[in-house]
Amino acid sequence: MATQKTALVVSAHAADFVWRCGGAIALHAEKGYDVTVLCLSFGERGESAKLWKQEGMTLDRVKSARRTEAENAAKALGAADLVCLDLGDYPLEFSRDNKMKIVEVIRRVQPAFMLSHSQYDPYNTDHMNTTNAVLECRMIAQAWGHNPGEKVLGAPQLYLFEPHQTEQMGWKPDTFLDITPVWEKKRAAIECMEGQEHLWEYYTRVAINRANHFKRNSGGQSGGRDCRYAEGFQSIFPRTVDEL
């Protein structure tokens, strides 16, 4: 019997997974992967300006609205599961307990690959702290002595998805993924983010321009594989292959 293929996205705030790797989620879901989206927070304090500008807004109402958006987006993308840890944002706190909650999800999912933020982000330290924590939790999940008896984690790749203002983050994509077949799903998920409408067209432009990069790198001036929408990723670990 074939093993179910799985992937895990770790998103600092509720909307990050949509802009940055919504295409990868939808594409792998269509390919039969169970993709789990783990939102560490709802971005309730730091990424919900539009809501906070409304009269009488409360933290709970913001969280609730953001959770609904995240659920709708995850559904639009075909994610198998959405886990919201509600750790609080701006700043995210990576206490030992919180890290163990992340480890627990990693162990349960046993992902073939993981996706998270860039390793540097001077605008948003929640992002870079998330990736540091993911690396630490990946290590813990690999330990035979952590909750002995549980299945230990293998060595999943960690892909860093595209940050805002890529060059300021020192992010360099080494992998372009053609998301043309699922673009409509990504766009639908994007439109679930009602509080950040100013970014809908922004990330549509990003996807179209990344498709240009896909084409360049698949064939240069002599042609290249056609592609209309793409996403870029940076790998942390080396690949192991049987053919170059």
By the rule CB under 8 A, 52 interacts with its own copies: yes
Identity of residue 184: E
Q: Which of 17, 19, 113, 229 binds its own copies (CB under 8 A)?
A: 113
Residue count at the site for its own copies (CB under 8 A)?
92
Q: Tell me which residues in 82-111 interact with its own copies (CB under 8 A).
A: 89-91, 93, 96, 99
Q: Which of 34, 68, 78, 218 binds its own copies (CB under 8 A)?
A: 218
Is the distance from CB of 11 to CB of 85 less than 8 angstroms? no
Which among 131, 171, 151, 163 is positioned nearest to 40, based on CA atoms?
Answer: 131
The secondary structure of 72-131 as a DSSP string is: HHHHHHT-SEEEE----SSS----HHHHHHHHHHHHHH--SEEEE--S--TT-HHHHHHH
By the rule CB under 8 A, 220 interacts with its own copies: yes
Q: Tell me which residues in 122-161 interact with its own copies (CB under 8 A).
A: 122-126, 132, 135-136, 139-140, 142-146, 148, 151-155, 157-159
By the rule CB under 8 A, 2 interacts with its own copies: no
- Angstrom distance (rounded) from CA 159 to CA 237: 9
Q: How far is the CB of 99 from its own copies (least distance, A)?
A: 7
